[in-house]
Amino acid sequence: MNTRNIFLISAIIFIILLFVVPSSFLPSELGNTILTVVAFLFGIIAGFYIVVTTTDYNNVKNILATETAGWISLHQNILIYDKQVADKLASLIDKYILRAFDFEIIDYAKSTHAEFEAIKNFVVGLPYKENFATLHGNIRNNMDVIITARQQLTVLGARTLSIFQWTILFALATIFIFSLYGLRTGKLFFDIVTVAISGSIILVLLLIHDLDLYIWNEKTFGYDIFENVLKSIGQLPYYPAESIKQKRVQPHDKEYRIGTYVNFPKSIDRKIEVQRTN
């Protein structure tokens, strides 16, 4: 379920609560004190979490850009070095990226080890050509860049926030919303403000969640950059069927591939089909 749908459902729940929760069930002085303290703590902690998760998120974006650029450069250099070898490499890179789509960004570097090792061994076994010595060095440098990027992704491939930290954040958010409803006067304006602020709290939590999992604005760095690699090596764009169904991505190519699980969750093998649009 995407962020917009969760927010809309939350807003509906908050509106329903206006008719269920009694007004002014908290003493005004006590309620205002609790609201002030919790708002202060929630603002500091949520702000800190956003800074931390945003830093890791931006690092992952930059590293992914480096890695995918490395794949494109590697293929182009080998295409000059030996066209037949480049065709074999394109097939291996294609398998690597298709497998990468089976996992979230947070997990894919660790989960594509076998596919990456096949490419690395292929490049290491590349025959040395004396007249292409400089180009051979560039090819090895491309692999070094990709290896470094994958190591960095492995380090960052973990949630920044622990269960304990999420528990604290949820507890503060719950107390904050509880205090807002407890201080309601029953007037329409206060009810609107209560729903709006409560919805904003949910949006903040969703933002931190998406940043923590590296799925915020994922179409750009989670799909598009990999599709660019596929196109660069002469392969059709590829999309997992469930990503399209969940509306995480919408294909705009006239011809592309869709991968559908054959026997999930027992196996992550997919049936690949070519789709064409008019």
pLDDT the model gives residue 252: 85
How much is the pLDDT for 276? 86
Instruction: Report pTM.
Output: 0.84
Phi, psi of 21, deg, nearest 5: -80, 130
Position 4 confidence tier, pLDDT thresholds 50, 70, 90: confident
Q: What is the DSSP string of 118-136?
A: HHHHHHHTPPP-GGGHHHH
User: For residues 60 and 264, which has the higher predicted lDDT (pLDDT)?
Assistant: 60
Averaged pLDDT score across all residues of the chain: 90
Burial readout 238-265 (b: 16 or more C-beta within 10 A, e: otherwise): bbbeebeeeebbebeeeebbbbebeeee
CA distance linking residue 35 with residue 176, whole number of Å: 6
Provide the 8-state DSSP code for 103.
Answer: S
What would the mean pLDDT of 96-117 be, rounded to a whole number? 91
Which residue is associated with the tokens 């492995």?
154
